[in-house]
Amino acid sequence: MFLLNPKNYERYYPDEESQQIMEKTIAFFESKGKAKIKEDDHERTWYADFIEFVKEEKIFSSLLTPEKYGKDENVRWDTWRNCGFNEILGFYGLAYWYTWQVSILGLGPIWMGKNEALKEKAAQHLEDGAIFAFGLSEQKHGADIYSSSMKLAPQKDGTYLANGAKYYIGNANVAPMVSTFGKITDSGDYVFFVADSQYENYELVKNVTNSQNYVAEYALRDYPITEDEILSKGQDAWDSALNTVNVGKYNLGWASIGICTHALYEAINHAANRRLYKMHVTDFPHVKQMFTDAYARLVAMKLFALRAADYMRAASADDRRYLLYNPMVKMKVTTQGEEVINLLWDVIAAKGFEKDMFFEMAARDIRALPKLEGTVHVNIALIVKFMPNYFFAPAEYPDLPQQNNPVNDDFLFDQGPTRGLGKIQFHDYNIAFESYDLPNVNIFKEQVAVFKEFLMMATPDDAQRKDIDFLMALGELFALVVYAQLILENTKIYEMDDALVDQIFDFMVRDFSKFALQLYSKPSSTTEQMAFCQRMIRKANVDETRYQKVWQEHVYALKDIYEMNP
Question: Same domain for 49 and 192?
Answer: no
CA atoms within 13 A on the CB side of 262: 30
Q: Kindly tell me the burial class for residue 559, based on how many C-beta atoms sit within 10 Å of its own C-beta (0-12, 13-18, 19 or more).
A: middle
Which residues are registered as beta bridge partners of 154?
A: 160
Distance between CA 267 and CA 290 in Å, rounded?
11
CA atoms of 202 and 163, how far apart (whole Å)? 10
CA distance 175 to 283: 51
Do 48 and 195 lie in one domain? The reply is no
Q: Could you give the number of structural domains in the chain?
A: 3
Q: CATH number of the domain at 58, please.
A: 1.10.540.10
Choose among 144, 111, 95, 218: nearest CA to 374.
Answer: 144
Question: How far does Cα 406 stand from its chain's mean position?
Answer: 22
DSSP H helix total and E strand total for the chain: 21, 10
**136 and 130 Cβ atoms separated by less than 8 Å:** no
Nearest of 310, 165, 277, 290 to residue 223 by alpha carbon: 165
Residue 318 DSSP code: T
DSSP 540: P
In a domain, 92, yes or no: yes
Q: What's the CA gap between 407 and 405, in Å, rounded?
A: 6
Residue 304 lies in a domain: no
Which residues lie closer than 8 Å to 177 by C-beta, 6 or more apart?
A: 106, 110, 118, 121, 122, 125, 130, 132, 133, 194, 195, 196
381/522 same-domain check: yes
Alpha-carbon distance of 313 to 403, in angstroms, equals: 7
Q: What is the pLDDT of residues 442-483, one digit of tens each?
A: 999 999 999 999 999 999 998 988 888 898 899 999 999 999
From first to last of its 566 residues, what are the pLDDT tens digits of the chain?
A: 899 999 999 999 999 999 999 999 999 999 999 999 999 999 999 999 999 999 999 999 999 999 999 988 899 999 999 999 999 999 999 999 999 999 999 999 999 999 999 999 999 999 999 999 999 999 987 777 778 899 999 999 999 999 999 999 999 999 999 999 999 999 999 999 999 999 999 999 999 999 999 999 999 999 999 999 999 999 999 999 999 998 999 999 999 999 999 999 999 999 999 888 888 899 999 999 999 999 999 999 999 999 999 999 999 999 999 999 999 999 999 999 999 999 999 999 999 999 999 999 999 999 999 887 666 667 787 888 899 999 999 999 999 999 999 999 999 999 988 888 889 999 999 999 999 999 999 999 999 999 999 999 999 998 988 888 898 899 999 999 999 999 999 999 999 999 999 999 999 999 999 999 999 999 999 999 999 999 999 999 999 999 999 999 999 999 999 999 99
Same domain, 107 and 146: no
Q: Does residue 96 belong to any structural domain of this protein?
A: yes
Q: Does residue 126 sit in the same domain as residue 179?
A: no
Q: How many CA atoms lie within 13 A of 264 on its CB side?
A: 31
* Domain C-terminal end among 98, 131, 164: 131
3-state helix, strand, coil in the chain (%, to 5): 60, 10, 30
Whether 37 maps to a domain, the answer reads yes
Query: Strands 202-207 and 215-225, how do they pair?
Result: antiparallel
Examine the domain organization and report whether 521 and 389 are in the same domain.
Answer: yes
In this structure, the answer to whether residues 178 and 78 fall within a common structural domain is: no
178: nearest Cα among 159, 189, 192: 192
Q: Is 200 found in the same domain as 121?
A: no
Count of other CB atoms within 10 angstroms of residue 72: 9
> At which of 131, 150, 177 does a domain end?
131
Asked, for residue 274, whether it belongs to a domain, the answer is no
| Residue 345, phi then psi, degrees to nearest 5 | -65, -35
DSSP 3-state assignment of 213?
coil
3-state secondary structure of 272: helix
State whether 441 and 552 are in the same domain.
Answer: yes
Indicate whether 171 belongs to any domain: yes
Q: Are residues 45 and 160 in the same domain?
A: no
CATH number of the domain that residue 181 is part of: 2.40.110.10
Furthest C-alpha separation in the chain: 83
Q: Is residue 20 part of a domain?
A: yes
pLDDT digits (tens, 9 = 90+) for 217-259: 999 999 999 999 999 999 999 999 999 998 999 999 999 999 9
Intra-chain end-to-end CA distance of the chain, in Å:
24
Q: How many CB atoms lie within 10 A of CB 319?
A: 18
Tally the residues of the chain: 566
State how far Cα 513 lies from the chain centre.
Answer: 25
Q: How many CB atoms lie within 10 A of CB 6?
A: 21
- Share of residues in the chain with pLDDT > 90 (%): 90
Phi, psi of 2 (to 5 degrees): -80, -40
pLDDT for 93: 97
Question: Do 62 and 194 fall within a single domain?
Answer: no
Domain span at residue 163 reads 134-233
Which of 104, 131, 158 is a domain's end point?
Answer: 131
Query: Does residue 515 belong to any structural domain of this protein?
Result: yes
- Assess whether 123 and 203 both reside in one domain: no
